[in-house]
Chains A and B, each alone.
Chain A
Amino acid sequence: MAKKGARTTEMADYEVHVPLQAVLLADSFAQKFRPITLERPKMLLPLVNVPMIDYTLEWLASAGVEECFVFCCAHANQITSHLNKSPWMSQPDFTVSIIESHDCVSAGDALRVIEQRGVVRGDFVLVSGDTVSNMSLTEVLKEHQERRKKDKLAVMTMVVKKSKPSPLTYQTRLGNDELLLMIDPQSKQLLHYDAVREPGSRDSLQGNSIQRHVSLDRSIFHDRPVVQLSNNLQDCHIDICSPEVLLLFTDNFDYQQLRRDFVKGLLSDEIMGNKIFTYEISNEYAARVDNLRAYDVVSQDIIHRWTYPMVPDILCAGPKASMRLERCNVYKEGGVILARTAMIGENTVLGEDTTVGDNSSIQQSVIGRGCTIGKNVVIEGCHIWDDVRIEDYVQLRYSVVCDGATVKKGAILEPGVVLSFRVVIGSEFRVPAYSKISMVPQPTEEDSSDEELEYADVASGRADSPRSPFTEDQSTRNGSISGDEDDTAEGPNWDPIEVGETGAGYRWAVRDGGQEEEWRHSVAPIPPEKIQEIVAANREHDVEEVDYDIRALGGQDSLEEEEDEDEEEEDDFEKEVAETFLRAARGVSGVQQEHVVIEVNSLKLAFNKTFADCAGAMFKAIIDLALEAPHPTAKELLSITKDVFSRWGSLLCKFLKGSDDEHEVLLTFEEICIESHKEFAPLFSQVLHMLYDIEVVSEDAIIAWASEKQYADESDKVFLKQSEKFIQWLKEAPEEEDEDEEDDT
C-alpha cells in the first residue's frame, strides 16, 4: 500500500510533442535458457550471430522510436558493457538509457521501478529484449492514440500476428502454448486471453491436458453483435502502452507477469473498465524468442528473410568483412575457409574466419565466428556459437553449442542437446537427447525466490544478490575451470558418464517431471514417435469431444454461470460471517462483540449486502454453534440453543434494524430446518417462542411471516401449522384489533 504514495508521474499532456519512447526489458525473468543464462544474459545470446538485443534496438531505432529505456536486472553489467561498446549509445536520433535494478523478480517489478523513476512521459512501446520484428509502428501508434482520444480507458494495444498452431501438440511454431483470444472484430477490443493448454499442468502421461471448456463472461456479449474467437493468433509481445499501465502495475503490486497477471487482471476487472485492444500485422514479422524452440524457429525465419531488412547480410554489413548471401540462403562472412569437399547445405550461416574440413556436411545450421570444424563432421540444424572446436567424425544434430565449447573426435550429440560455455565432450562419447551440460553445476536447492529468475552475474559475485551463497560457490568453481581449461584431460570433478572420458562439464538433471515437457521447448523438432503418441492420446479424447457452439454459450450457458457465481458469492459471505462470529464465540483472545459488529459491517460493504443478509448469516452461524455441542435428544438441543441465544442474541440484534430483517431471520430459520439441519424441525415453534422471548424477533415480524405463509403450498406450511398456537396467542394477547384484521382476511 505504501507504494501508492510513491506515485510521481503525472498524466502526460497529449497536446505537446512527446518523443516516442520505448521500454525494453533486458531480462526475461524466466529460466527457459538455462544453463546458458547462468553465464550470459539471454538478451546477449547470439541469434544468427547477432546478439538478440541488437535486433530489438535496430528495429526500435528504424521504427522511429526516439528514446529507449533498457531495463537490466540479471547480468546487468554485461548488458551495460555490451551497450557501451555498441554504437547504440551514440546515435543521433535514438537515445538509449540504461536503468539498472537488482532486486526485481518479474516484469511487474521492473515496470514499477520504471514508474518510480518517472521517465516515461507518454505512450510507449513495451517490448522485451528478445523481440525480432520489422513492423512499422506508425500505424499501430496512430490507431492507439486515436482510440485514446475517444476513450481514456483504452490503455494498451497488443500486437498479434496470425500463425497457425499445431493441431496435435496445441503449441505454436514458437513453442508457446496455443492461445485462445476473443476479439471484437469491430473495435478490435480484446475480450478474452487464455492458453488452450493448461499451463503448468504436469499430466505426465499425456503431456498435454487440454482445457476443453472456455468460460466466458456473459457481459462480453452485451451490445456486440459479433465476437471473434480465434486460436490462430500469436501474441507478438509488443505492446503499445499508455502511461496508465505503469500506474496500474504500481497500484496492483501483486501483478508479476505481463500476460498472466496484468492482461488477465485487466480483462476480468470490470470496475476500472480499462480496455486492451489488439492490432494484427500480416505482412510484417514479429516474434519473441521465448524458449529454445522459438530460438531455432526465429533463426530460420531470419535466414529465410522473413525479417527483412533484419537479415544477416544487412545487419552484419561493414566495409571489412561483410556477410554475403549466396544461393539457397547460404550466408558466408569474410575469412571463411572451406575444404574443397565440404558440403554446405541450404539455410546455413558461416561466421567470420570459420574453417570447415574435408567431407564435412553442414545443413540448416548457424555457425559462429572463429569456429574450427574438422573432417567428416555432420552438422544438421545446429546453433554453434563463436570459437567452438569440433573435431573429426563428430555428429551434431539439432543442438546448441555455446562459445568456446569443444566436441572431441567421434562424439555424437543427439537431438536437443545444449552445451553451455566451454564445455568439453570427450571423444567417442554419445550425449543423450535433451541433455544440458554446463561448466556450472546445477544449483542443488532452488529456493522459491529463484523460481522466476536468471541468476545474477557470476563474475561480479555481488553481495547484495539474494543468492550469494550460490554465486560464491560458482565463482570458485569458475576459478578451477580456468585452471584446467588447457589440459581438460585432467578434470577430477567431471564425471566420465556425463561428458565422456576427457570431457569437462556437469550434466544437469531434469527437474520435476520436466522430461516429458522437454521436447516441447527444445531446438530439436518433435520426434515422430512423440507425435504418434499424441495422436493416439487425442483420439481417446475425441470420443468425448463436445461441439462448441459459441451462440449457445453466449445464451443459456453463461446465464447459468452467472447465477452460479452469485450463489458462490453468497456462500463466501456466509462463510466469512460465520468465521468472524466463531472467532468471538470460541473466545479467541481479543475478539469481542464490538469487533464482530465492525467486521461484519465491513463484510456487508465488501460483498454489497443488506442488514437482512447479515442477520440471516449471523443467525445461521449461531445455530451452527448450537449444533456443535453434543445433542442426543431434541430437548437437550433446545436447551443448548437457548443458552447460545441468550449469550449471542444481543449480537444478532445489532443487525436487526427493522421488522424486515427479523422477517429474514425467520425465513433463514425455516430454511435451516428444511434443508441443512432437520433436527431443528420439531423444535421450530419452541425456538420461535424463545426468539420472541429474548426479543430477537418482534411480534410484527412473526405475524408478517405468518400472513405471508398463509398462501403458500401445503408443504411449506408445516412450520406455520406447528407454531399456529403460538401465533394465535400472539395475536390475541395484546390487542383486539388484530382479531378484527384476522377476520377481515
Chain B
Amino acid sequence: MVGTTSGYEAAVDQFVTKMRRRQVVGSQSSAKLTAELLRLVVSHQRLPSSGQAAALIEAVKAVGVRIIAANPIELALGNIVRRVLHIIREEDVSLASDSILDSTLDSDDEDEFGNVARRSALSAVSVAAATRNTLRAPSLYNLLESVPGTAATQVARVPSATESEARSRSGDRNLMSRKLKHNVIEAITELLQEIDNCHSQVAEQALEHIHQNEVILTLGRSVTLREFLKEAKKKRSFQVVIAEGAPRYQGHMLARELADVDLQTTVITDSAVFAMISRVNMVIVGAHAVMANGGVVAPVGLHMVALAARRHAVPFVVLAGVHKLCPQYPHNPDTLLNDLKSPSEIIDFGEFSDCLDGSPGGSRTHVVNPSFDYVPPELVSLFITDTGGHNPSYVYRLVAEYYSPEDYVL
C-alpha cells in the first residue's frame, strides 16, 4: 500500500495473530475490536490531495482482506469491514453534496453564468444524486424522491461556481480531507456505540414478545438472549426450558445465570427437545450470523430445534445484533464455513486412543465436532435486531441499508 504509515501496521499484525489463534471469542467482541482497529487505520491513514475517499477505501479494504483471512469463520469481521466502507462512501457523498450546496448558496446572487461551469456543476450534482441512490436501498420512497421533476427544479436553482469559487474550494480541500476523516471516525465511533448497546437494544423489546406464564425454549447460551430474558423477567413471570447445547454445554451456564435472577428454568438434553416442544410457546435463540436471505448460522443443534418448532407450529425467534447481519448469501462456499473444533470436546482422547488408529485397511474412529448449523429462512419466524423485529424475507432490505453493493465482494 502506498501511503500507509507503520502506525497501524503493528496493531493490524497483532489483531491478525489474535484472530488466527482464535483468542477472541464471540461475535460482539470481535466486531468491537474490528471497529476499533479500523478507526485506528482511518485516523492514521495519510490521504492524498485528491480522491481521498478512494484512498481511504483502498486502505480499509487492504486491512479488511487480511483480517477476514485470519478468521474467515467469524463473519462479524467482514460485516464490520463492509460497514466501515459503507460509512466512508456515505460520508464522502454527503460531504460532496454539502460543498456543492454551499457553493450554490454562495453564488446565488451572482449573475454571470459560464456555460461550461454550469455544466460541470450540473454534472456534479447529478453524480452526487446518483451515488446517493446507489447507496440507499432501492425503496419506493427513494424512487419517488428522485423523481425527475424535483431533480430538475433543483438543477434549475443551481447556478454554477465561478473560477474564484473553484480556487477557494481547492484551498478548502485540506480542510475537507480532515473533515472527511473526522466524519468517518465519528461515524465509526457511533458504530461502536451501536455494537455496545446492541444487547440492551434487543432486550428492550422483550416485553413485546414474552407474555405472562409462557414457556420459552432455548438451546445453548447467548449473551443477547440472557439479557433479553432478564429484561422480560422484570415485568413478567415465565418459564425457560434450556437444552444444554452439547458438546460445550453452555446451557448449564445459562441456567445458572438465570437462576440468579429467580427465573424458573428446566435443563434438558438436546435430544429431548422434540419431547418438550409441544409444551413450549416460543423458541428464542441467539445466532452466530444472519445471512442476506434470512438464513441463520447458529450454534450446532439449532436446525433440529427449528424443525421441531415447525412441526409443532411454535414460533422460532432469532435474536441478533445488526453486526451479525451479513450481506452474503449462504450459497457461496467461501462464506458459509463451519468451524470444526477439536474432537476432545466430545470424547476423551485417553479412553479412545486405542481405536483412533485403525488396523491396516480398516478405518479408525472419526470424531467430528462442528460448531454451527445453518437454519434456512423458512424455519425462522422472526428476527429481533436492535432496530426492531423483522421478517426473514425483509433481511435483504436491511442488508441494503447497511452495506454498499460494491463491498459485497472485497
Interface residues of A (CB under 8 A from B): 58, 62, 91-92, 134, 161-164, 166, 173, 232, 282-285, 297, 300-301, 304-309, 314, 317-319, 322, 325, 329, 346, 524-528
Contacts and interface: CB of A to CB of B under 8 A. Distances in A.
B344 A306 contact: yes
Nearest to B23: A62
A69 B189 CA distance: 42
Contacts of A58: 21
Given A162-B353, A308-B340, 16 more contacts: A62-B21, A92-B10, A163-B353, A164-B351, A164-B354, A283-B349, A285-B342, A304-B366, A305-B340, A305-B342, A306-B343, A309-B21, A309-B22, A314-B20, A329-B366, A525-B360
A347 to B, nearest CB: 8
Interface in B154-188: none
Contact of B359 (A62, A232, A304, A525): A525
A285 B360 contact: no
Contacts of B23: 62
Contacts of B367: 304
B22 to A, nearest CB: 5
Which of B10, B23, B342 has its CB near the most chain A CB atoms (within 10 A)?
A: B342
B261 interface: no
Contacts of B354: 164, 166, 173
A134 B23 CA distance: 12
A518 to B, nearest CB: 15
Contact of A283 (B13, B344, B360, B363): B344
Interface string B22-46: 1100000000000000000000000
Contact of B357 (A92, A307, A309, A525): A525
Contacts of B209: none
Interface in B45-102: 65-66, 69-72
B350 A306 contact: no
Which of B71, B353, B354 has its CB near the most chain A CB atoms (within 10 A)?
A: B353
B341 A308 contact: yes
Given A304-B343, A304-B367, A314-B20, A164 B350 contact: yes
B356 interface: yes
A734 to B, nearest CB: 81
B353 A164 contact: yes
Nearest to A165: B354
Contact of A173 (B20, B341, B357, B366): B357
B131 interface: no
B369 A305 contact: yes
Contacts of A92: 10, 13-14
B348 interface: yes
A280 B353 CA distance: 15
B249 to A, nearest CB: 13
A526 B72 CA distance: 40
Contacts of B406: none
B13 A134 contact: no
Contacts of B17: 91
Contacts of A166: 354
Interface string B329-366: 00000000100111111001111011011111001101
Contacts of B21: 58, 62, 309
A89 to B, nearest CB: 13
17 contacts: A58-B21, A62-B21, A92-B10, A92-B14, A162-B350, A162-B353, A163-B349, A283-B345, A300-B364, A305-B342, A306-B342, A307-B342, A317-B71, A319-B66, A325-B340, A346-B363, A525-B360
B326 to A, nearest CB: 19
Contacts of A282: 344, 348-350
Nearest to B62: A319
Contacts of A232: 350
Nearest to A398: B360
Nearest to A94: B17
A526 B345 CA distance: 29
B70 A173 contact: no
A134 B342 contact: yes
A527 B360 contact: yes
A317 B342 CA distance: 18
Contacts of B10: 92
A33 B287 CA distance: 48
B280 to A, nearest CB: 33
Nearest to B348: A282
Contact of A528 (B337, B342, B345, B359): B359
Contact of B69 (A134, A162, A319, A525): A319
Report the 8 A-B pairs with minimum CB-CB distance, sorted nearest first: A162-B350, A308-B342, A525-B360, A163-B353, A164-B354, A319-B69, A62-B21, A283-B344
Contacts of B363: 346
A322 B343 contact: no
Which of A58, A134, A306 has its CB near the most chain B CB atoms (within 10 A)?
A: A306
A431 to B, nearest CB: 18
B11 to A, nearest CB: 10
A329 B337 CA distance: 13
A84 to B, nearest CB: 18
A305 B22 CA distance: 14
Contacts of B358: 525
Interface in B282-324: none
Given A62-B21, A162-B349, A305 B341 contact: yes
A554 to B, nearest CB: 26
Nearest to B18: A62
Contact of B20 (A134, A305, A317): A317
A306 B357 contact: no
A335 to B, nearest CB: 15
B350 A161 contact: yes
A175 B340 CA distance: 28
